[in-house]
Chain A
């Protein structure tokens, strides 16, 4: 796929922008490419990568944000992962923890399974869904300046945020963090002083 004239963001660069200067922010990534993107940006004990449980990333972020009210929590996941758990936006819209941000990398495709088109390329508007669920701080991000603005907001925010980040439908070489779920859980908790 030629990307010369593609205005959408490159996913690895987008992840690096979001995680630069992360401070003590906790990060949850969704099954598939966002897990590889976060690992490529630099593995960190405070990253919890999903290798399964499709549709669950947002709710892990919710449970974590409630349990750690003094820490910022960022979920970065894909359009397909959110579509599978669309009800999570309704549940989060009701709870609205002030320390939870969700960034949806939207390439309108299922990269993990061979680039089949997703609903977001056929009219489903995830920002509209988030707004309809009662989330007020919703950002539709189409370019690098808007992404930088959102990354700056991530450093200090006080209400639930949802951003849709338009990214290119490409597949950079995979960067695979450990798939050992117990290790991922334990190192995360240890980083929080819980183990």
Chain B
């Protein structure tokens, strides 16, 4: 198990949560992830958000589609490796033009200890773009909140599925040695 990187006073994870709330996101599908752990905790604790723990990220695509069919907005939280699990399920969002925003913590790109994370981490953006997902990449903490807000705006105004990639340098490389 990894430890969470130190959290500064003004934390960009809380900016993501604020953007989700401002966009009236009511369902959040997630696969447990160290980089998203604080955000997941806030979603679980919020009475107006149904946080749904998934066994695999592709479940989240279908969850978000069902949410939209029923009149609710959904966002998904996952790690870059999970993007690879979603590719065929993105045919659902693409064929039906379901809106959703995917927030991805990146692995395999910056000071990565585990080389098995590299193949998917280095192809995450290209894989999403092949399926016509509009991808934003964030490197600076100050840019996180407004980027997530912009992505949510575009998708729920009738645009494509959006993804925000939170760079590994931003998150902090996973600590393997105490």
Taking Cβ atoms with an 8 Å cutoff, the residues of A that contact B are 26, 28, 48, 50-68, 71, 85, 87-88, 90-91, 94-95, 181-182, 184-185, 188-189, 192, 194
Interface residues on B, range: 20 to 34
Q: Which of A64, A182, A188, A192 has the most CB of B within 10 A?
A: A64
B65 located at the interface, meaning its Cβ lies under 8 Å from any Cβ of chain A in the complex: yes
B64 located at the interface, meaning its Cβ lies under 8 Å from any Cβ of chain A in the complex: yes
Least CB distance, B172 to chain A, in whole angstroms? 29
Closest residue of chain A to B91, judged by CB?
Answer: A52
**With A66-B27, A67-B27, A182-B96 given, is the CB distance from A53 to B50 under 8 Å?**
no
- Tell which of B65, B88, B95, B97 touches A63, judged by Cβ atoms closer than 8 Å: B65
B95→A181 contact, CB < 8 A: yes
The B49-76 residues at the A interface (CB cut-off 8 A) are 50, 52-56, 58-72, 74
B26 located at the interface, meaning its Cβ lies under 8 Å from any Cβ of chain A in the complex: yes
Ranked nearest first, the 10 interchain pairs of A and B with the lowest CB-CB distance are A63-B66, A67-B70, A87-B55, A59-B62, A181-B96, A56-B62, A181-B95, A53-B92, A67-B72, A64-B66
B62→A91 contact, CB < 8 A: no
B52→A189 contact, CB < 8 A: no
Inside 8 A of B12's CB, which chain A residues have their CB? Answer: none
Inside 8 A of B126's CB, which chain A residues have their CB? Answer: none
Closest residue of chain A to B70, judged by CB?
Answer: A67
